[in-house]
């Protein structure tokens, strides 16, 4: 089993200098660094480690860059890993072992928080043990901020966080729309949750593997959200509505409507009282909703076809709020 590893660097050459060696040292990987029109040392670092580097002549948004990077690598499995994520030895082997289960399409590793690339920067705190989409349709990080020893048993998560996520290529191809694995209308925030949701709705599962360990500098989380630009917070806010419009089954939506409605009332109150800049998130969601309709049709048709052709899990209600045990 060969794993393609596309790494997008947007002026992250110095982080890459610390994270790339651990990626290259993993067995049976094809690593490609995609230089997103950087003006720093990205290409130099890739050359130093004997890694092929593909340069984008213009700066691409995150989702567009990730789609281009994915097309640059082979492998029957794909490891998405960001330059600010530092793998430990045995990471890929531990994660790939979970794909022995043919129902598993994605593997969520155990990510531990760090504030920098050095060992002294590591915190004894969990960054995430996978991703959850709860019954309010709000995505979040499992166990974020808990002691690093928590979530030390294998289990199942709703999905894998985009900082480091192993996928079967076949599942990515099934979840792609018009050849795009990452939805470029999302631009950036929440695109990993959207991908995890699509893969799950097509009948696949995500395994959480605590022996695949990496250290991650978290830039957007409950603990850092207040420091993020208003534009990023509005984008994350709007993308939740785009995910619901594109991915949610009507039966699931009706089942959870009381929870969703209660959350919407509280969210609107918060926006009006605390973060009025999020009003643009509502406006942008309304503007982009028509673009979600044809994507929804494609996914729902694909879901029905898979269910009719031997994958009954594709017709099942989604297990929202699913996360591994602490």
| pLDDT single digits (tens) 136-171 | 999 999 999 999 999 999 999 999 999 999 999 999
The pLDDT of 113-120, averaged and rounded, is 95
Q: Are 316 and 200 in contact (CB under 8 A)?
A: no
Is pLDDT of 109 > 70? yes
Is pLDDT of 6 > 80? yes
In a domain, 79, yes or no: no
In a domain, 231, yes or no: yes
Q: Are 22 and 51 in contact (CB under 8 A)?
A: no
pLDDT bin (cut points 50, 70, 90) of residue 280 is very high
Is pLDDT of 263 > 70? yes
Cα separation, 149 vs 210, whole angstroms? 10
Beta strands at 85-87 and 104-114: parallel, antiparallel or unpaired: unpaired
In a domain, 69, yes or no: no
Is pLDDT of 223 > 70? no
In a domain, 291, yes or no: yes
* Percent of the chain surpassing pLDDT 70: 98
The pLDDT of 113-133, averaged and rounded, is 96
In a domain, 58, yes or no: no
The pLDDT of 264-288, averaged and rounded, is 94
In a domain, 24, yes or no: no
The DSSP secondary structure of 183-252, one letter per residue, reads -TTS-STTHHHHHHHHHHHTT-EEEEEEEEEEEE--SSSTTTGGGS-HHHHHHHHHHHHHHHHHH--HHH
Is pLDDT of 310 > 70? yes
The pLDDT of 65-84, averaged and rounded, is 97
Quote the pLDDT of residue 219: 80
* Residue, of 231 and 7, whose pLDDT is higher: 7
Cα separation, 283 vs 288, whole angstroms? 9
CA dihedral 68, 73, 75, 78 (to 10 degrees): -50
Q: Rounded mean pLDDT of the chain?
A: 95
Instruction: State the residue range of the domain holding 155.
Output: 84-326
In a domain, 118, yes or no: yes
- Domains identified in the chain, total number: 1
Is pLDDT of 222 > 70? no
User: How far lies 13's CA from each of 37, 47, 82, 160, in Å?
Assistant: 12, 11, 12, 25
| pLDDT single digits (tens) 164-208 | 999 999 999 999 999 999 999 999 999 999 999 999 999 999 999
* CA distance from start to end of the chain: 30
| pLDDT single digits (tens) 281-305 | 999 999 999 999 999 999 999 999 9
Cα separation, 17 vs 191, whole angstroms? 26
User: How far lies 28's CA from each of 5, 163, 217, in Å?
Assistant: 10, 20, 26
pLDDT bin (cut points 50, 70, 90) of residue 1 is confident
pLDDT bin (cut points 50, 70, 90) of residue 229 is confident
In a domain, 70, yes or no: no
Is pLDDT of 226 > 80? no
Cα separation, 254 vs 150, whole angstroms? 34
pTM of the model: 0.95
């Amino acid at each position: 089993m060969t794993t393609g590893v596309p790494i997008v660097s947007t002026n992250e050459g110095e982080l890459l200098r610390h994270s790339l060696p651990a990626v290259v040292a993993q067995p049976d990987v094809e690593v490609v660094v995609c230089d997103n029109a950087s003006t720093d040392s990205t290409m130099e670092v890739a050359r130093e480690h004997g890694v092929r580097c593909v340069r984008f002549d213009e700066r691409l948004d995150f989702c567009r860059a990730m789609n281009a990077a994915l097309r640059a690598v082979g492998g029957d499995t794909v490891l998405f890993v960001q330059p600010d994520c530092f793998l430990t030895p045995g990471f890929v082997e531990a994660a790939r072992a979970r794909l022995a289960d043919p129902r598993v399409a994605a593997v969520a590793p155990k990510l531990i928080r760090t504030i920098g690339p050095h060992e002294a920067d590591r915190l004894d705190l969990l960054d995430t043990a996978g991703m959850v989409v709860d019954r309010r349709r709000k995505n979040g990080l499992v166990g974020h901020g808990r002691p690093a020893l928590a979530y030390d048993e294998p289990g199942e998560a709703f999905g894998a966080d985009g900082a480091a996520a192993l996928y079967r290529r076949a599942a990515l191809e099934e979840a792609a729309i018009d050849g795009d694995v990452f939805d470029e209308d999302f631009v950036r925030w929440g695109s990993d949750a959207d991908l995890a949701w699509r893969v799950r709705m097509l009948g696949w599962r995500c395994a959480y593997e605590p022996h695949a360990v990496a250290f991650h500098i978290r830039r957007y989380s409950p603990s850092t959200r207040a420091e993020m630009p208003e534009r990023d917070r509005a984008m994350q806010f709007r993308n939740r509505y785009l995910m619901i419009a594109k991915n949610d089954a009507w039966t699931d939506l009706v089942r959870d409507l009381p929870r969703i409605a209660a959350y919407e009332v509280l969210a609107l109150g918060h926006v009006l009282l605390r973060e009025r800049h999020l009003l643009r998130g509502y406006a942008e969601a309304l503007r982009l909703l028509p673009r979600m309709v044809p994507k929804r049709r494609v996914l729902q048709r694909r879901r029905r076809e898979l269910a009719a052709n031997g994958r009954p899990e594709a017709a099942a209600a989604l297990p929202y709020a699913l996360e591994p045990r602490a």
